Structure 1
Amino acid sequence: MVVEFYYHPQSPPCCLVWMVIKELDIPHKAILVDMMKMEHREDAYKKINPKMQLPAVRDGDLTLTESRAIAVYLSAKYGKGKKNENLYPKDLTEQARFNELMMADVDNYHKMLNYLNPEAIFDGRAKGVVTELLPKCEAVLAEYEAVVKSQDYMFGNHLTFLDFACVHTLGCIEMGGFDDWTKYPNLKRWSAKLRKLPYYEECVKKPTESNNRDFQQFLKEGSAMYTKDAKP
């Protein structure tokens, strides 16, 4: 049976699922839903996900639409018996610890998005990132730096899909122009290991480069729409 994967390559939640599929070599059919053309709002996709969000997967009669729930399911089902079967922990206690960190990363991801401020920029209500929120983002960097100081990956010394989630969370801050990684040598070491994954170029590097280019254009357009009377 082939898993249907509905995605857009520039969506970080999609890329998380994409990396799980690649790592576990899951038979799948990748179905592009072009958000730039608003295809996620069309009736055909609403039948897959009424919330009109990406990603989504269909595996037989099961449809899932939340990236981390999808990652848990795919890892648990398709990781069995494979050398990377611990992409999601099997032990109940380990699962609880993992889930706690996974949910914390959701909060951290939104801290990064709040800093980027994309909706306000796009609507012409702001001319750039929320610079006063940068310390909160740097606190996230410091938190993750401490984690990988004493271990190879975000959850112990082997790869898990928490690494996939974190690489996209941390990538958000770069979109806002942050490039000073000198205080985070362990994150650089961790990132270097991920860059060696055979699917990193496809699932992370190319989408990230596209997002960064688009966001810089986004900033220019937002600044052009911004007026001194606009509310941030």
Structure 2
Amino acid sequence: MDQLTQALNFRHACKKFDETKKIGQADMEYILEAGRLSPSSFGIEPWHFVVVNNDKIKRELRPACYNQEQVTSCSHFVIVLYRKANNFTLQSEYLRRTVARGLPNANDQTAIDAASQYFINFYEHGLADGLTINHLSEMQDYLACANMLTAAAYRGIDSCAIGGFEYDKIVQLLEKYMPQFSAESYGIGLCLAFGYRLKEPTAKIRWPLEDLTTYL
């Protein structure tokens, strides 16, 4: 079995971590780098990773995550934010800096205007009915999250993706501890707990590939 397949089989939703074991900084940055290098539509990279390894803050986060034990037993708790629509206007510094990276002259304001407007036009007319730029941005988050979970497993580090949380309570905690956070500019995609398992999981259960695949 190749190493990637081993990692995918190793990964499970770890519900209780060994609190005596901490992830080293190099391993944590390896996981975050997998998120950073993830694909995103138009290369907009709409994510921001809030890494919590402070036990006091994790204890405050736990009630907002329906008292799930992995929030406080994990080594590092990552809140994966996504950028909202006000980051993607013609005047948005973030969008302008993002599109400028792909231009021959990153200081050409006319070219930046044109590239930014192209992005805006595409998503004003190209999204499916009912979808918004906020939906698109949040969906990009999940690509980064999946890569971080796999990267952790590749290093023998366990994880749990947490989508069950009280949104407003997490926002309040971010506003308390993260001065640059704004609920108008950022949404919360997923929370990811990383650490080391206390016990071995049950066997992985998945449908056979032939039940999931159609070739046309």
TM-score norm. by structure 2 comes to 0.24
Q: Which has the higher contact order (CA 8 A, sep 6+)?
A: 2
Higher strand content, 1 or 2 = 2
Structure with the higher fraction of residues in helix conformation: 1
Query: Rg larger in 1 or in 2?
Result: 2
TM-score, structure 1 length as denominator?
0.23
